[in-house]
A = this chain, B = another copy of it.
Amino acid sequence: MATGKKQPMVAFKGIMKRFGKVVAVEKMDFEIEEGSLVTLLGPSGCGKTTLLRMVAGLEEPTEGDIFIKGKRINDTPIHKRNLGMIFQNYALFPHKTIFDNVAFGLKYRDVSSADIREKVKRALEMVRLPGVENRMPSQLSGGQQQRIAMARAIVIEPDVLLMDEPLSALDENLREEMRREVDNLQRLLGVTTIFVTHDQREALSMSDKILVMKAGRKQQEGNPESVYNEPSNHFVADFLGHSNFITGEVVDVSNGHVNVRIETGDVLFAENKGGFSKGDPVEMIVRAQRFDAFPREEFEPVEGMNHFEGRIKDRSYMGGEVSYFIELGADREIHIISMMRTRLYEIGEAVSVQVSPHHCHLIHME
């Protein structure tokens, strides 16, 4: 505050959680800006839920402190923290009407019953389900139930909205739709939100900031583009999107570019964003979508681009896109995904593959 920096809405300071011998969350510092939507992303068991539940007060940190609005809340009991929580399976009270569900939190908040009615009505309108007050949760579809869960959480005007894989029980199409809605609603209300998911698409498309975790440790934090395009390590690159990993050695460094000799003997160019020097063993990460494939005979190499020759080894038609596995020889294979505009390549066909150095991201060998 002295530095004029805006006070974060939620802050973790050296937070750590151990269950018996399992360390679910390893010492972690992390801040969440007011009004932003932050996603905790990582494989199953990496500690996302645990972190979220510590904010909610459903788990107690083994070490470290949690702050909300600058106030340490470690010892505040759950029901006194003003939080909205949304669960994967909605957790609507099956024995209460929608009205009673949504009004539940207000009952404990000194709100007159007229106001309660008014607020519930507004919340239901906000989630675009006006008029369902008298139904039971079981009379609503999955997506509708999820919306009611939203309404129930936001109606209390929480300081922070916590969502643990709220969309993963929905089927693909509905999930995409709900993703947009949650996103819109969050922006509309400007409520600080922590969102847990292991679905990278969800994380990439919704977040202001993504925290990638692995085995209880922070791997990378940043906005979606930076996390996707500049993964800080192999794990992050592998976890997000379809990546090709090409190992090699830096053979030359010159004005913002690095030349890397890869296993096949080819030398590839990459932008130098990380301060690499000659002789460094590196890993080059290229997203499958960043390659372009051309029929061998039609291919004309472009100056300053990287290219390979190869043969289609396997392909998989996906409608909008086609996924190819291209054999480069010497046991190396790359995976490319291309939007299909013209014809499909046949298995065995000779192709040339090209990728811009701009899309070749280097990391130090781990």
Contacts and interface: CB of A to CB of B under 8 A. Distances in A.
A314 B344 CA distance: 31
Contacts of A321: 289
Interface stretch (A23-31, A100-108, A136-144, A197-205): A197-205
Contact of A241 (B225, B287, B319): B319
A212 interface: no
A84 interface: no
A289 B289 CA distance: 13
Interface in A313-350: 314, 316-321, 323, 337-341, 344
Contact of A200 (B179, B319, B337): B319
A42 interface: no
A288 interface: yes
A87 B314 CA distance: 26
Contacts of A340: 289
A317 B204 contact: yes
A344 B205 CA distance: 13
A206 B316 CA distance: 7
Contact of A319 (B240, B319, B320): B240
Q: Main SS of chain A's interface residues?
A: mixed
B180 A316 contact: yes
A213 B9 CA distance: 50
A317 B240 CA distance: 12
A318 B204 contact: yes
Interface in A223-256: 224-225, 228, 240-242
Nearest to A325: B180
B320 A289 contact: yes
Given A289-B339, A339-B289, A341-B290, A317 B242 contact: no
A201 B321 CA distance: 10
A165 to B, nearest CB: 13
Interface string A145-188: 00000000000000000000000000000000001100000000
A228 B320 CA distance: 9
A320 B337 contact: yes
B180 A317 contact: no
Given A180-B314, A339-B339, A320 B287 contact: yes
B319 A228 contact: yes
B287 A317 contact: no
A321 to B, nearest CB: 7
CB-CB nearest 4 A-B residue pairs = A289-B320, A205-B316, A241-B319, A228-B319
Interface of A: 179-180, 200-201, 204-206, 224-225, 228, 240-242, 287-290, 314, 316-321, 323, 337-341, 344
Given A228-B319, A289-B339, 10 more contacts: A200-B319, A201-B319, A205-B323, A224-B317, A225-B317, A287-B319, A288-B320, A289-B340, A290-B341, A338-B339
19 contacts: A180-B314, A180-B316, A200-B319, A204-B317, A205-B316, A205-B318, A206-B316, A224-B317, A228-B317, A228-B319, A240-B319, A242-B320, A288-B320, A289-B320, A289-B339, A289-B340, A290-B341, A320-B337, A338-B339
